[in-house]
Amino acid sequence: MENRLQQLYGKLANHISDMIPIKWWELNFLGDMGKGEMLSAVFYFKETEDGEFIRSFDIPERYNVSEEIFNQLQSDIYLILLELYQCFKDEKQELWDQITLKLNSNGKFKVDFNYDIIAEDEETDSLERDLIWAYKTCGYTSKSDYLNKIIEDYIQRED
């Protein structure tokens, strides 16, 4: 199982890295496996060491990448996540709700799994979980008032 997982981690990391059309410094990825294997995946990356994090879904507009190409590449992430999940099923391992991957431009990476996070927080949808995770992990804030409202509501709930 370890060899298969290492291959899948590498496949995921390389695919995400290839989706970024510029040199990058640091990357944080969150994959959500919801009920009924509903998937969501998002990543945030820094262009430079002291830069701000950029949300993966901003790539098409920010870097003039075709939406169609980006959506296909995003779909490929879902397929890799399903392969990872299936690996856990095949090996009768505890099934995870979320996978996080932290990667730097030197190739150093760390993978973590979260369990029962969706069951604990059923009222929160995947967008909200993604944004809260990005805020806590990367200090991410958005230029979108709508997205920032989600983050602000989370901060108020935690106070």
| 125 falls within a domain | no
Q: Report whether pLDDT(151) > 80.
A: yes
Give dist(CA 91, CA 118) in Å, integer.
22
How many structural domains compose the chain? 1
Please report whether residue 139 resides in a domain.
no
Exposed, middle or buried: residue 122 (CB in 10 Å: 0-12, 13-18, 19+)?
A: exposed
Enclosing domain of residue 95: 2-118
What three-state secondary structure class fits 99?
strand
Q: How high is the pLDDT of residue 18?
A: 95
pTM, 2 dp: 0.88
| pLDDT recorded at residue 4 | 93
Q: Is 153 contained in some domain?
A: no
Q: What is the CATH number of the domain that holds 101?
A: 3.30.500.20
pLDDT at 9 over 70: yes
